[in-house]
Amino acid sequence: MTKLEHTEVLVVGGGPVGLTMSILLSRYGIDHILVERRNETSTHPKARGVSARSMEIFRRCGVAEDVARAGLPASHVSFYRGSSLVDPDFVRASPGGDTELDAVTPTPGLICAQNELEPVLLTHAKARGEARIAFGSRHIGVDERAGVLISTIEDVNTGDVRQVSSRFVVACDGIGSATRARVGIAMKGTSGLGRYLSIRFKAPLGRLLADRLSASYFLTPPAVGGFMAIDNDVEWIYQYPYTEGSDAERLSDEECAALIRTAAGIGGLDVEVIDTMAWRMDALLAESYCRGGIFLVGDAAHAIPPTGGHGMNTGIGDADNLAWKMAAVIRGEAGPALLDTYEVERRPIAEQIIDISSRNSRAAGGYRIDDQLLLGTRYRSAAVQTDSTDGTSGLDRSKPPFRADPGKRLPHTWLRPEVSTLDLVGCNAIVVVNGEDSTEWNALANVAQREGISIRIENIGDESFGALCPKPGVSGILVRPDGHIAACFTGIPALIEFLEAACRMFGSASRDQ
């Protein structure tokens, strides 16, 4: 007889997004199983740019320091443009544009190749008791029986089959998501914006590029493609663009090495090709993010052109948005309607990022990688109280300082050395308040607690509160566990107003709905 296991959530796929989802679910104490068909984490570096917002999420989960250790120093995060790697007239741009990123985030983005990032995430995911992580396990189907999802999992090494029953399935199984196909959710958009051969190689370039070390080395015409730093010393990627039907996917190592020497402008460069990966640039978005307890997260929900470095980072943001909501529903703190806000909040963000990244892919003069972009994520949904007439989630591209407004992320300011306002965000909601005396706020939180809504009051004093740039008169900021602002209170709210805002955070005017 087939073995049947039970868990609250089954996560399908152990790429960077599935692993982040697992870490977040564990943070909220949610029992779950993650299945990944590969026996090991990724070998070829795809994503390398980990954005400031992803690093903030990793910081909240206690993962950021290990990611930073596995990546390149922040001083290397700049973008090179030149006709070759040895162009004397090269230019270099920083990811923050005019902004000092340190002023808007405790964790500016950095470069950590996906094959280095995934083992860090896996180690943290495995270390948490709520997770059962099964690599070498392929998800081969899911059926719904009496409100329970029954998934079939095959051990890729032995062929053994087992079944897992769960309340929710989170599909983090990438762009080719079979889970998405099985539930009949279509992808809409444009396929084949470009084709590239990603050639990973070793070459002693670090010494030669010491005066221009960068994260990405974009080549200007007539040169083609670009170089991507892995360790900015001996390990590199060359992205070679090719047209469909050409023989690029069949190039020998020696032919790849010749392409690299030409593009680098260094005829005698000693090149050892490690491996290659052909990939296609798509700009696609799932028509829906959820069907019957099955949620799409990461590339399963959107294929974002890598021209901008936002694909994985958007997926990490999806996981951050969904995990606390799923946890609140599982714990009975919120009604199932809260989960409807996942698509309402996240899909328009992906749509906008696809649009920006697609435009980047067509920009003849190159593009700027914008590390601040995702810091401007602004939600509009039933889980956010807003008097704004703008009813759609989107990216607020206004310049810093960022204002503490409903739907946006709680802005960062240092409270004391090494402690950011973002570090106040917990597994339950918080209200960040000003002033010296929190007595009345604590009384409100105590009533909410008796109603089953756990809210902590964080008094940061007038000066720090002012640094969050709230609208005049705002004295309290209700912050969700994903660090986004659910409501701003003017003065000390009446109990009914406070409780209504707390209930709205859970996606409904009343938690019984």
Ligand X SMILES: Cc1cc2nc3c(=O)[nH]c(=O)nc-3n(C[C@H](O)[C@H](O)[C@H](O)COP(=O)(O)OP(=O)(O)OC[C@H]3O[C@@H](n4cnc5c(N)ncnc54)[C@H](O)[C@@H]3O)c2cc1C
Strands 32-36 and 91-93: unpaired
Q: Which of 24, 312, 422, 502 binds ligand X (CB under 6 A)?
A: 312
Residue number, 117 or 334, with CB nearest to ligand X: 117
Which residues contact residue 212 at a Cβ distance below 8 angstroms, ignoring those fewer than 6 apart? 80, 90, 92
Site for ligand X in 420-459 (CB under 6 A): none
Smallest distance, Å, CB 179 to ligand X? 7
CB 86 within 8 A of CB 147: no
Residue number, 124 or 511, with CB nearest to ligand X: 124
Task: Tell me if 371 contacts ligand X by CB under 6 A.
Answer: no
- Taking CB under 6 A as the binding criterion, the range among 68-76, 160-168, 171-179, 288-296 that sits at the site for ligand X is 171-179
Smallest distance, Å, CB 23 to ligand X? 13
Task: Tell me if 346 contacts ligand X by CB under 6 A.
Answer: no
Residue number, 198 or 459, with CB nearest to ligand X: 198
Residue number, 244 or 462, with CB nearest to ligand X: 244
Task: Tell me if 35 contacts ligand X by CB under 6 A.
Answer: yes
Both tokens assigned to 406:
């409903």
- Taking CB under 6 A as the binding criterion, the range among 32-40, 328-336, 412-420, 484-492 that sits at the site for ligand X is 32-40
Residue 75 half-sphere exposure toward CB, CA atoms < 13 A: 4
DSSP at 379:
-
Task: Tell me if 310 contacts ligand X by CB under 6 A.
Answer: yes
For residues 259 and 264, give the distance between their C-alpha atoms in angstroms, rounded to a whole number.
Answer: 9
Residue 247 half-sphere exposure toward CB, CA atoms < 13 A: 5
- Helix, strand, coil percentages (3-state) for the chain, rounded to 5, are 30, 30, 40
Q: Which of 313, 357, 386, 421 binds ligand X (CB under 6 A)?
A: 313
Task: Tell me if 48 contacts ligand X by CB under 6 A.
Answer: yes
Q: Which one-letter amino acid corresponds to residue 387?
A: D
Nearest Cα residue to 15 out of 42, 47, 49: 42
- Taking CB under 6 A as the binding criterion, the range among 55-63, 95-103, 306-314, 342-350 that sits at the site for ligand X is 306-314
Count of residues touching ligand X (by CB under 6 A): 33
Residue number, 306 or 507, with CB nearest to ligand X: 306
Strands 455-459 and 474-479: unpaired
Task: Tell me if 138 contacts ligand X by CB under 6 A.
Answer: yes
Task: Tell me if 343 contacts ligand X by CB under 6 A.
Answer: no
Nearest Cα residue to 46 out of 279, 368, 361, 298: 279
Residue number, 199 or 455, with CB nearest to ligand X: 199
Smallest distance, Å, CB 273 to ligand X? 16
CA dihedral 4, 5, 9, 15 (to 10 degrees): -90
Task: Tell me if 185 contacts ligand X by CB under 6 A.
Answer: no
For the chain, count helices (H), then strands (E). 11, 26
Which residues contact residue 295 at a Cβ distance below 8 angstroms, ignoring those fewer than 6 apart? 168, 169, 170, 171, 289, 322, 326, 339, 342
CB 503 within 8 A of CB 448: no
Residue number, 15 or 476, with CB nearest to ligand X: 15
- Taking CB under 6 A as the binding criterion, the range among 80-88, 172-180, 392-400, 451-459 that sits at the site for ligand X is 172-180
Task: Tell me if 284 contacts ligand X by CB under 6 A.
Answer: no
CA distances from 215 to 76, 208, 265, 327, 433 (A): 6, 15, 19, 37, 40
Residue number, 236 or 441, with CB nearest to ligand X: 236
| Structural element, H or E, at residue 341 | helix 337-362
Residue number, 309 or 476, with CB nearest to ligand X: 309
Q: Which of 9, 10, 12, 170 binds ligand X (CB under 6 A)?
A: 12
Residue number, 49 or 507, with CB nearest to ligand X: 49
Beta bridge mates, 275: 200
For residues 268 and 153, give the distance between their C-alpha atoms in angstroms, rounded to a whole number.
Answer: 51
Three-class secondary structure assignment of 387-413? CCCCCCCEECCCCCCCCCCCCEECCCC
Smallest distance, Å, CB 329 to ligand X? 22
What is the distance between the terminal CA atoms of the chain, rounded to a whole angstrom?
A: 40
Task: Tell me if 46 contacts ligand X by CB under 6 A.
Answer: yes
Q: Which of 95, 106, 109, 174 binds ligand X (CB under 6 A)?
A: 174
- Taking CB under 6 A as the binding criterion, the range among 63-71, 86-94, 170-178, 425-433 that sits at the site for ligand X is 170-178
Smallest distance, Å, CB 488 to ligand X? 31
CA dihedral 244, 245, 249, 254 (to 10 degrees): -110
Smallest distance, Å, CB 231 to ligand X? 16
Task: Tell me if 483 contacts ligand X by CB under 6 A.
Answer: no
Residue number, 18 or 376, with CB nearest to ligand X: 18
Residue number, 361 or 442, with CB nearest to ligand X: 361
- Taking CB under 6 A as the binding criterion, the range among 31-39, 244-252, 323-331, 348-356 that sits at the site for ligand X is 31-39
- Taking CB under 6 A as the binding criterion, the range among 44-52, 95-103, 122-130, 451-459 that sits at the site for ligand X is 44-52
Residue 127 half-sphere exposure toward CB, CA atoms < 13 A: 13
Residue number, 38 or 128, with CB nearest to ligand X: 38
Task: Tell me if 226 contacts ligand X by CB under 6 A.
Answer: no
Beta bridge mates, 488: 477
Smallest distance, Å, CB 355 to ligand X? 16
Angle at the Cα of 149 from the Cα atoms of 148 and 150, rounded to 5 degrees: 115
**Contact positions toward ligand X, by CB under 6 A?**
12-18, 35-38, 46-49, 114, 138-139, 172-174, 178, 198, 279, 298-299, 306, 309-313, 315
